[in-house]
Amino acid sequence: MNWFRITVLLLFFSQINTIYSQVNNIIPTPKEQTIKNGFMLIENNPEIITNDKFKSALTLLKNAINELNLDNDEKPKNRIKFSYSKKLDNEEYILRINSNLITISASTENGAIFGFQSLNQLMNLNLNNGVIKLKNQEIKDSPRFKYRGMHLDVGRHMYPVDFIKKYIDGLSMLKFNNFHWHLTEDQGWRIEIEKYPELNNIGSFRDSTLIGHYGDKPRQFDKSRYGGFYTKKEIKEIVKYANKRGINVIPEIEMPGHSQAAVASYPMLGCTGEQVGVAPLWGVFKEIYCSKNETFDFLEDIIDEVVELFPSKYIHIGGDEAPKTNWKACGNCQNVIEREGLKDEYELQSYFITRMEKYINSKGKQIIGWDEILEGGLAPNATVMSWRGISGGIEAAKMNHEVIMTPNAICYLDHYQAKDTKNEPLAIGGYTPIEEIYNYEPIPSELDKSLHKYIIGAQGNVWTEYMKNSDHVEYMVFPRILALSEVVWADNRPSFKDFEKKVNETYPILDRMNINYSQHLERLEKK
């Protein structure tokens, strides 16, 4: 009798563990997940029922099924279909698994794509010896925030097109919907511009690059030419690729600061008119755009070509870290201050940003800027990306402006993720472990509840001064990006301990994607 009881208990707990895996292994955590009786066994390629409304999601599903290497010789025993439901919101989906039929319901392509991503995780994590065993269930899911972003700086170091696509694959898997592509910097101009070829002939290449850390004394340089740019053809290819995976690509064209590569290409854009080089060093430089009509003509021409490449409603204009040294000594800039009745150079920056915003708005686009655009007065329609902590975001929300939270102490994935930095790849500094990201709350407690609606989401930033190759980028981003995906999507984050279990279950997926992830979370080998 005792042995019978023990056997029953063992079977019970075995079933509980199986159900736990089925319930909890999706990242980010679904809003509602109801486990039902029975299983679906997928032993060969299922029949995929086509739907003209969700062509991209269907393509992703077909490709995923093929990658699972299931038996395709036998007649399909199961079916998977997408179903249109106008009752569901933009990115909402319902995933139903019922013995021999899987249904993904959505009202938009993005909803269907994110429903597919949940199914794909379940299939990958429950594949064993060529057979997928899925618990019958129903998932009703939608995001907490409408803006869920990841950034990549290609100005300091740039990466192949194939890697950019791989990066986008990772974002889509985790249900991010915005890829912020930082394309221009002091150290390199990375976007093809036909009207101004010197941006690519000169501005896209630097003659040397810092070796080691910025703080090293003395500094050393490799004295090797470095650079390149993405052609318009490549950019169109990436934008299309991202769109088919539910990802909007936001270009960043920095202004008025972080523009030394542009000034090196066309010295008339600076205040002095003197020839400067593309920066070989990291940091903040005084060579910024001069606030004169020639500069605005140039930038408007740039915007004209940018909007043809990016369907995104947003264009990021930077606005950060613009020293006013040259402006203070520049006759052109001082004349603008006097002519426009401006108080100082900070109001001149506001004038600069507002003037560019007006032009960008005329193209049917909206601007996003780093929180420095608050200085001197905020442009009328700007969205603020709060990176110097949370105060800029709070201030912008109180002005009824939309805010994307990205405080550097938490959301900068270029920081170290371990205290033992000697055994880590070189990084800019800081310490941001995955747990700190996971516990982050984007809506500040200090913000009145009536203003919460202006916090539209959060973003992780990847600045690449010290990331010379894509493996290093992946190491810094994964698995911390998994934590951020929970922050921006899930209303019901589990405990960090339970999240750790989910991360360990997800490692095999990252392995199959050939992602060079960090293993600072203890990897629990499956038995």
Region class of 483: left (phi > 0), else alpha (psi between -120 and 50), else beta: alpha
514-520, Cβ contacts within 8 angstroms, sequence gap of 24 or more: 515/166, 515/170, 515/474, 515/478, 516/471, 516/474, 516/475, 516/478, 517/474, 517/475, 517/478, 517/479, 518/417, 518/475, 518/476, 518/478, 518/479, 518/480, 520/417, 520/418, 520/433, 520/434
**Whether the bond into 160 is cis, omega within 30 of 0:** no
Q: What sign does the CA torsion over 388, 394, 399, 400 have?
A: positive
Tens of pLDDT, residues 33-42 = 999 999 999 9
Strand partners, 147: 457
Distance between CA atoms of 395 and 406, rounded to whole angstroms? Answer: 14
Does pLDDT of 4 surpass 70?
no
Does pLDDT of 17 surpass 90?
no
Binned at pLDDT 50, 70 and 90, residue 521 comes out as: confident
Name the packing angle between helices 470-477 and 480-489 (round to 10°).
50
**For the chain, what is the mean pLDDT?**
94
Binned at pLDDT 50, 70 and 90, residue 523 comes out as: low
- DSSP annotation of 81 reads E
Q: What is the mean pLDDT of residues 440-458?
A: 98
Residue 357, both tokens? 């915003």
Does pLDDT of 16 surpass 70?
no
Quick one: which of 306, 309, 287 has its CA closest to 298? 306
Distance between CA atoms of 155 and 191, rounded to whole angstroms? Answer: 10
Chain-centre distance for alpha carbon 284:
24
> Which residue do the tokens 């915003």 mark?
357
Distance between CA atoms of 296 and 353, rounded to whole angstroms? Answer: 10
Residue 419, both tokens? 């205290």
Region class of 321: left (phi > 0), else alpha (psi between -120 and 50), else beta: left
Residue 135, both tokens? 């618990």
Strand partners, 47: 79
State in Å, rounded, how far the first CA of the chain is from the last one: 30
Note the pLDDT of residue 299: 98
Residue 307, both tokens? 């909007």
Does pLDDT of 88 surpass 50?
yes
- DSSP annotation of 382 reads P
8 A C-beta contact, residue 313 and residue 348 = no
Distance between CA atoms of 489 and 142, rounded to whole angstroms? Answer: 8
Note the pLDDT of residue 2: 53
Tens of pLDDT, residues 246-269 = 999 999 999 999 999 999 999 999
- DSSP annotation of 28 reads S
Quick one: which of 126, 138, 111, 131 has its CA closest to 34? 138
Distance between CA atoms of 207 and 222, rounded to whole angstroms? Answer: 9
Find the helix or strand (DSSP H, E) in which 377 lies.
none
Does pLDDT of 21 surpass 70?
no
8 A C-beta contact, residue 395 and residue 379 = no
Domains of the chain: 16-141 (3.30.379.10), 147-491 (3.20.20.80)
Find the helix or strand (DSSP H, E) in which 386 lies.
strand 383-386
Q: What is the mean pLDDT of residues 227-256?
A: 98
What are the E-state strand segments in 24-90? Answer: 32-42, 47-49, 79-84
Distance between CA atoms of 119 and 125, rounded to whole angstroms? Answer: 10
Does pLDDT of 133 surpass 80?
yes
In single-letter form, the type of residue at position 117 comes to: Q
In sequence order, the 6+-apart residues with CB closer than 8 A to the CB of 348 are 291, 324, 327, 333, 336, 337, 342, 376
Distance between CA atoms of 291 and 272, rounded to whole angstroms? Answer: 12
Note the pLDDT of residue 51: 86
Backbone angles phi, psi at 184, to 5 degrees: -130, 145
> Which residue do the tokens 């990006």 mark?
481
